[in-house]
Amino acid sequence: MGQEIMERIREANEAVITGIDDADIKHWVTIYIMGKAYRVPADITLMQAIEYAGYRFVRGAGCRAGFCGACATVYRVAGDWRLKAALACQTRVEDGMYLVQIPFAPAGKPAYDLEKEPPEGSVLLRYFPELARCVACNTCTKACPQELEVMDYIQAALRGDLAAVTELSFDCIQCGLCSIRCPAEIVHYHVAQLARRLYGKSLPVPEHVEERVREVEAGKYAEEFERIMSLGREEIEELYRKEQREKGGLKSGDASRVTRNGRGEG
């Protein structure tokens, strides 16, 4: 199943690249994928370039829209000593890039029972005592492709300020790039996730959510669900396009170009 989906994503994307004939491409750059040089069109994303070079993603790609955090990449550009981090689906190739994918940041997540944990800041240090090792080097912030103030949220976590961690980490997509770089070996995104969960738990459930839950439980949407579940694939796709067009999010009925992110370039 997963394999099949990946295959379809790849095919869809191939069209974007191979729709143009190599002869028509005017600008080329050379990038080095795990040390091997490839000439690729200048205007594509790292992810497309990796595929253009002939690799196939089995892991390390998901949404292709900057949301899932699966496509973490680290790279250097020739002549620049900096080690940079980026999302492959959101970053354009540059000439002289040396890159490698980090499809997974090795990190064990402690098991916790949210029901049993009080919504207090001290819980963070109990599960992640290594927070105390932060040296305020700010490397995590520099690595974050979401441009979050990661160090600030780690410092807030150390202080036990759940609200601040939630606020500062809200756009985290769990790509793990911060945690790959941290000299204190902190697993930032798991810390932030626990903080958001605890904080969320401490908030009252808004009236409109309760209202909706009551409606669902009373069976208000049952019929509609039933109808959608009975549709065939074509019909569902058409329904989706129609929805998107109504929202103004989709142009020319091309589902493969759907991006929900301003920075996206699918």
Partner 1 sequence: MADRIDSGTLRIPAREPDFVRRVEELSGEDVFACYQCGKCSAGCPFTSGMDLLPAEVLRLLQLGDGRVLGARSPWVCASCLACGVRCPKGVDIAKVMEALRLFALRRGETGLRLGDIPPGVPQIALVGATRKLTP
Partner 2 sequence: MERLGYELAELPRWNCCGTVYSLSTDDLMRHVAPVRNFVRVQEMGEGRLVTLCAMCYNTLRRSAQFVSADPERLQRINAFMDEEPDYRGGVEVLHLLQVLRDEITFEAVEAKVERPLYGLRVAPYYGCMLLRPRGVGIDDPDRPETMELLFEHLGAEAVDTPHRVECCGAYQTVADPGLARERVAEIVGAASRRGADLIVTSCPLCTYNLERHQLVAGDGRGTGARHASHVSRHGIPVLYFTQLLAFALGVPEEELGFADAAIDPRPALSQRVGG
**Residue 67 binds which of ligand FES, partner 1, partner 2, none (CB < 5-8 A, kind-dependent):** ligand FES
Q: For residue 191, what are the contacts with CB-CB under 8 A and spacing of at least 6?
A: 124, 128, 131, 154, 157, 165
- The reply on whether position 136 binds ligand SF4 by CB under 6 A is yes
**Residue 68 binds which of partner 1, ligand FES, ligand SF4, none (CB < 5-8 A, kind-dependent):** ligand FES
- CA distances 166 to 134, 149, 160, 172, Å, are 19, 12, 11, 10
- The reply on whether position 249 binds ligand SF4 by CB under 6 A is no
Whether the Cβ atoms of residue 86 and residue 142 lie closer than 8 Å to each other: no
Nearer to partner 2, 37 or 135 (CB): 135
Q: Which two tokens stand for residue 163?
A: 């609200």
Given strand 84-87, what is the order of strands in its sheet? 36-41, 28-33, 97-101, 72-77, 84-87
- The reply on whether position 137 binds partner 2 by CB under 8 A is yes
CA angle at 118 for the pair 113 and 129, rounded to the nearest 5°:
75
- The reply on whether position 191 binds ligand SF4 by CB under 6 A is no
Instruction: Select the residue interacting with ligand SF4 from 29, 157, 172, 191 (CB under 6 A).
Output: 172
What single DSSP character describes residue 76?
E
Q: Is 130 helix (H, G, I), strand (E, B) or coil?
A: helix
Instruction: Give the residue from 48, 52, 24 showing the smallest Cα distance to 38.
Output: 52
Instruction: Select the residue interacting with partner 2 from 70, 97, 151, 175 (CB under 8 A).
Output: 151
**Residue 126 binds which of partner 2, partner 1, ligand SF4, none (CB < 5-8 A, kind-dependent):** partner 1
Instruction: Give the residue from 149, 156, 187 showing the smallest Cα distance to 171.
Output: 149
- The reply on whether position 167 binds partner 2 by CB under 8 A is no
Nearer to ligand FES, 61 or 156 (CB): 61
Nearer to ligand FES, 64 or 190 (CB): 64
Interface residues with partner 1 (CB under 8 A) are 122, 125-126, 129-130, 132-133, 158-160
Q: How far apart are CA 196 and CA 163, in angstroms?
A: 8
Binding-site ranges for partner 2 (CB under 8 A): 134-138, 141-142, 151-152, 155, 158-159, 183
Binding-site ranges for ligand SF4 (CB under 6 A): 69, 134-140, 143-144, 146, 148, 150-151, 154, 172-178, 181-184, 186, 188-189
